[in-house]
Structure 1
Amino acid sequence: MAAFHHISLLTKDSHENVRFYTEVLGMRFVKNTVNQDNHRMLHYYYGDYQGAPGSVVTFFIVPHLGHRYENKNFIATIGLKLPQNSLDYWKERFIHYSIDYTINDRQIHLFDPDQVEIILTETDLPPLALDHQVKNEVPVDKQILGLNSSQIHVNDPQATSDFFETFLGWTTIDQRIQLNATDFLEILPTETDKPSHMGRGSADHIAFAVTDDAALEALHQRAEKQGWQIEKIVSRGYFKSLYIREPGGNRMEFATLTPGFTIDEPLEKLGESFALPPFLANQREEIEANVYPEK
């Protein structure tokens, strides 16, 4: 079965971002690190207690970031799944925090501080396993389970659907790829040729889970053979990744399940210090000195 690994976006304000995802949504701040492609940019990760693949939302911190323009192609929405019988709790929580929301059946729609649409969907799933529960005020039987959905917006949905079908064997039915029993990806049409511009709340990529290095290398070889637009295959320390541009121009990542976030911090201390994977550790002084300053 297919599954999400994480989704990565851009934010302007690290403090607002941390407050919303940890205090309001109750996710754990599992990693404070750096964008490995631009060491001036901080990279924050949120997830369940383990930072397990499929639970993770990440943000690149870009102070003074401008408005985003979503036109020809873009990725939108963070869909998150809730355990059974938790919808009323979350409605009350958002009222407490004075956050506007709308209800659609078993879904709550709201926006984060960068105007990213968040969709919380109540499922029939049980709560998080004990070792994945975050230690905070959100009751353990109400905590967010992980990623549930996202949207790819493109000029030619058929070409993007064909990419997923040919490359991965994932079928699109009624604009939707059903990854597993609960999780799905939507492929939706745009109606302009005007270019999109990244800004506050833009999604940089969606990442899908791959079992291990061997499976990732097999994907890499298949992508080369089929002629897809490969950006790179690279170790991020916490996982190994293959980046491909789907035909509509959006970045897709395929990331391994291991080794995970405990390679540079113990599990109980995740997110408490500025972490660098081993291959960047000897550049710590330079990296820390050159991070983009915030206000």
Structure 2
Amino acid sequence: MFAPIHHVSLLTRHGQENADFYTHLLGLRFVKKTVNQDNHKMLHYYYGDYEGTPGSVVTFFVVPKLGNRYENDHYLSTIGLKLPKGAMEFWQARLASFQIAFEKKEKTLIFSDPDNVTLYLTETTEPPLPRSKQVKNEIPGNKQLIGLQSTQLHVADVDKTKNFFKKLLDWTVEGNHIKLSESDFLEIIGTDSKSASHMGRGSMDHIAFSVKDEQTLDVLHQKALSQGWFIEKIVSRGYFKSLYIREPGGNRMEFATLSPGFTLDEPLESLGESFALPPFLESQRKEIEANIYAER
């Protein structure tokens, strides 16, 4: 069975600082350095397990002059990640050794990244990553992050957003939680602000959910059309095909296929080591590289 959350995508101002945090501190692999396909001036960094498995991936668009974010009437927030059984003590010590302030609530460690994104590391009863997915770094294989567990949707009308997930996807709604699996979930939180939100450093652009294949995605697309949801587009990203829908609260939801995956344009052994472009953008490489925002 595949992970219900495919990936989450956010915005960062400082690419190197961001990469250091997610690869060195958290131990994820830098699986892809590419471009934002909707704005070729932006770099797009992908982090995940060794194979870049859907469900392990956190991505960031790099925007050097990005300002502060303002989270008001609707927004996405928090990255929930799973730890294998028995890894809590290791991660407490690791965060402390990097002088990362954290709060501990039962089996969860709560802290922030350099863009003030709140992260949750929760110890589960799940086993460690299989050896093929373990990143080759200083973090013991049996302590490495397993993958994504949760995120939060903040909306003005909680019931409308819950109905979206129930009607389109037939997902289980328990209170203000959308149950995705035995361990994974979404939390729907009401907002009372009338001010518009504004994207900035640390904003989450979207959350992506896993879809088995293109045929399944096309069926979902037709269902969404028939139900009258706000569909932004359906498009191939090369690494996967994606359907983008705005849920009633205004947040962007993506539904992404499991394949072809990140070895489409790079071998597994050297993922993330060069500036990669999926085949349909390769002919534009010179122009893209000439106009991309400089890394900072």
Give TM class, smaller chain. over 0.9
- 2:128 is aligned to 127
Matches of 2:150 and 2:272, distance apart in 1 = 25
Q: Deviations over 1:32-55 (max 9, x none)?
A: 000000000000000000000000
Give the aligned partner of residue 165 of structure 1. Answer: 166
Moved over 6 A (4+): none
Q: Counterpart of 2:22 in structure 1: which amino acid?
A: Y
Partner of 1:289: 290
Distance across 2 between alignment mates of 1:237 and 1:88: 39
Distance apart, 1:294 and its partner CA: 3.8
Structure 1: how far apart are the matches of 2:189 and 2:254? Answer: 19
Matched, 1:22 2:23: yes
Which residue of the partner structure matches residue 212 of structure 2? 211
Q: Which amino acid aligns with 2:252?
A: R
Aligned pairs for 1:238-277 (under 5 A) are 238-277=239-278
Q: Any idea what the Cα deviations from partners look like across 1:244-289, whole Å, max 9, x if unmatched?
A: 0000000000000000000100001000000000000010000000
Q: Is the 8 A contact 1:154 1:248 kept in 2?
A: yes
- Give the match for residue 37 of structure 2: 36
Shift of 1:172: 1.8
Give the counterpart letter for 1:102 in structure 2: E
TM-score by length of 1: 0.99
Percent identical residues: 61
Contact 1:161 1:171 in 2 (8 A): no
Q: Quote the Cα distance in structure 2 between the aligned partners of 1:294 and 1:253.
A: 27
> Residue 274 of structure 1: SS of its match in structure 2?
coil
User: Shift of residue 171 of structure 1?
Assistant: 2.6
Q: Deviations over 1:5-56 (max 9, x none)?
A: 0000000000110000000000000000000000000000000000000000
1:230-241 matches, cutoff 5 A:
230-241=231-242
For the 8 Å contact 2:172–2:180, the answer to whether it is kept is no
- The one-letter code of the counterpart of 1:272 is E
Pair 1:67 & 2:68 matched: yes
One-letter amino acid of the structure 1 residue matched with residue 100 of structure 2: I
Segments of structure 2 that go 5 or more residues without pairing to the other structure are none
Shift of 1:178: 1.0
Shift of residue 225 of structure 1? 0.4
Q: 2: distance between equivalents of 1:191 and 1:62?
A: 29
TM-score by length of 2: 0.99
Alpha-carbon distance in 1 for matches of 2:43, 2:173: 35
Structure 2 partner of 1:222 = 223
Amino acid at match of 1:92: A
Matched, 1:109 2:110: yes
2:195 aligns with 194
Mapped partners of 1:175, 1:188: distance in 2: 7
- Once the 2 structures are TM-superposed, how far is the Cα of residue 173 of structure 1 from its aligned partner? 1.1
CA distance in 2, matches of 1:210, 1:294: 33
8 A Cα contact 2:16 2:295, kept in partner: no
Q: How many pairs align?
A: 295
CA distance in 1, matches of 2:228, 2:172: 20
| Shift, 1:181, TM fit | 1.1
